[in-house]
Amino acid sequence: MITDENMQSKLIPTLNNMGWMAAAIGDPYTRAFIDYAENASLPVMEVGAAYGVAATSVLNNGGRIIVNDLEPHHLHVLYEQTPEPLRENLQLLCGSCIDGIDLEADSVSAILCARVFHFFDSATIATCLARFQHWLEPGGKLFIVADSIFHGMNQDIYPEFLARKAASHATPGRVSLINNPRLEAQEDKEELLQAMPEYFNFIDIETLSSLFNAAGFIVESTDYFSPEYYYDVSLWDGREGIGMVGVKVNHTQNA
Ligand SMILES: C[S@@+](CC[C@H](N)C(=O)[O-])C[C@H]1O[C@@H](n2cnc3c(N)ncnc32)[C@H](O)[C@@H]1O
């Protein structure tokens, strides 16, 4: 069961009820983004960063990073916690990655968007991917991390996902968390529900790959993984997270 004490140790609550930020780097795709950023010729970007889980490592390694989030207080905390000499390499960009911020075309070497897409439906993910593709330099890399279709909260309703997928539903993994069987079994279910948006989109590799390809990315690598930052309510069979790395292959004029 999630208690206040252990929640604080692996996950830090967001200030805008958008779930929790991983308190430490806890997946191979975020680590790959941090490694890639070490040799980037242009700045890199972290989208939906909360307090900047990857940004701190990028800055400590000498990299330049643009950090985006919807919630200005998250970015303020990151700025305050960044040592003064590193602040010149940190650019804060508050607003929605869907329609609230903009970057010049071809202006970043890599983008990490971790644990945000599971709040969006497929059409919104497609909008974001087109924008990320526009902002990345040719050959630039996109790193996505999200909750997968094998997330624990989907365990009891997995057959419903399969049925929606068989019926070619555009967002087969989208479900309401109200009355979710796993959440219902939690003592603190009300508190948990309040800390998250009502709808989740548990993402599968096939659906995300086709969205990548449609937006002009080649999928370089992808897999399910076991997130190091989750508790029992989120766990199932070791595949609760999905990661995908895409390489920009087309130059688009409009995004
Ligand atoms: C679950 S937290 C993930 C934080 C961090 N990326 C991680 O991996 O732990 C989701 C974050 O995405 C941000 N977010 C949600 N929708 C967004 C949007 N449309 N544009 C920018 N950030 C968004 C929220 O404010 C929140 O800080």
Residues 74-120 have pLDDT tens digits of: 999 999 999 999 999 999 999 999 999 999 999 999 999 999 999 99
Residue 193 has pLDDT above 60, yes or no: yes
CA distance 59 to 92: 13
Q: Does domain 4-248 have CATH number 2.40.128.280?
A: no
CA distance 68 to 80: 15
Residue nearest to atom 23 of ligand 1 (CA): 48
CA distance 125 to 191: 27
pLDDT for residue 251: 57
pLDDT for residue 232: 87
Residue 202 has pLDDT above 90, yes or no: yes
Give the distance (Å) from ligand 1 centre to CA of residue 69: 6
Q: What distance, in Å, lies between the first and last C-alpha atoms of the chain?
A: 43
pLDDT in tens, 229-255: 888 889 999 999 999 999 999 655 444
Give the distance (Å) from ligand 1 centre to CA of residue 192: 17
Give the distance (Å) from ligand 1 centre to CA of residue 167: 30
Percentage with pLDDT > 90 across the chain: 89
What ranges do the domains of the chain cover? 4-248
Choice from 78, 116, 143, 145 to test ligand 1 binding pocket (greatest atom count within 8 A of CB): 116
pLDDT for residue 233: 87
Ligand 1 shell residues, CB under 6 Å? 14, 16, 18-22, 48-50, 53, 68-71, 74, 96-98, 114-116, 119
Which residue has 């390499």 as its token pair? 89
Give the β-pairing of 217-225 and 241-248.
Answer: antiparallel
Average pLDDT over residues 44-54: 96
pLDDT for residue 46: 98
pLDDT for residue 4: 54
Looking at the DSSP bridge assignments, the partners of residue 45 are 66, 111
pLDDT for residue 3: 47
Does 18 or 254 have the greater pLDDT score? Answer: 18
Distance of CA 17 to CAs 14, 118, 197, 211, Å? 6, 14, 7, 27
CA distance 198 to 202: 13
What is the pLDDT of the chain when averaged over all its residues?
Answer: 93
pTM over 0.85: yes
Give the distance (Å) from ligand 1 centre to CA of residue 98: 12
